[in-house]
Amino acid sequence: MGTIAADATVLGFDVGSRRIGVAIGSAFALSARAIAVVEIPAAGIDWVALDRLLAEWRPQGLVVGDPLTLEGEDQPNRKRAHAFARQLLARYALPVVLVDERSSSIEAARRFAQQRAAGHKRRRDAASLDAVAAAVIIERWLDAPGDATPVSLAPHVPT
């Protein structure tokens, strides 16, 4: 499908085993913000919720976190994230890229703690942490779009 335009609006995804954090970002404004957390029930991904988010935000590209260990090694969730990225490409026909998400959850937790200390967030808002991680993933793409890996529909075995 290709690369994402330099001035695009994108949705970013932090894929976990129980939920997917979603953020919106703009290459034009060089910013990203958390917008939603989509639960993954036993039946699988809630595509209806994702369809609604794409219809609402109308992105020109999709950015998915590529979960590696801190040492850059493969881990079990990586296969899930890559499969999700290929499903996004097939379903929405938008450019999809994978971005190294190492330490994004740590950065999201740090930001969340700062927002709590400032009185902007409460403990019950912790479920939004995955969406904050998705915003971090978009910011990494904004900082270095050339480092992203374009997704194709051909199955890819992470190296």
* pLDDT tens figures, 63-78: 999 997 667 777 788 9
Residues of the chain whose pLDDT is less than 50?
Answer: 126, 159
Q: What is the pLDDT of residue 106?
A: 61
Residues 6+ apart with CB under 8 A from 41: none
Q: Give CATH for domain 9-150.
A: 3.30.420.140
Q: What is the pLDDT of residue 119?
A: 65
Each as own residue / partner, the long-range contacts of residues 112-119 (CB below 8 Å, 24 or more positions apart, any chain) are none
Q: Is 97 helix (H, G, I), strand (E, B) or coil?
A: strand
Q: What is the pLDDT of residue 66?
A: 94
Domain boundaries, the chain: 9-150
Do 96 and 61 form a contact (C-beta atoms < 8 A)? Answer: yes
Q: What is the pLDDT of residue 107?
A: 62
Q: What is the pLDDT of residue 74?
A: 77
Q: What is the pLDDT of residue 115?
A: 62
Q: What span, in angstroms and rounded, lies between the C-alpha atoms of 69 and 76?
A: 10
Q: What is the pLDDT of residue 38?
A: 95
CA 3 to chain centre: 16
Q: What is the pLDDT of residue 156?
A: 54
Q: What is the pLDDT of residue 86?
A: 96
Q: What is the pLDDT of residue 3?
A: 82
Q: What span, in angstroms and rounded, lies between the C-alpha atoms of 70 and 37?
A: 24
Positive or negative CA dihedral for 139, 133, 40, 16?
A: positive
Please report where in the chains the tokens 């971005």 appear, as a residue: 99
Strand partners, 12: 23, 63
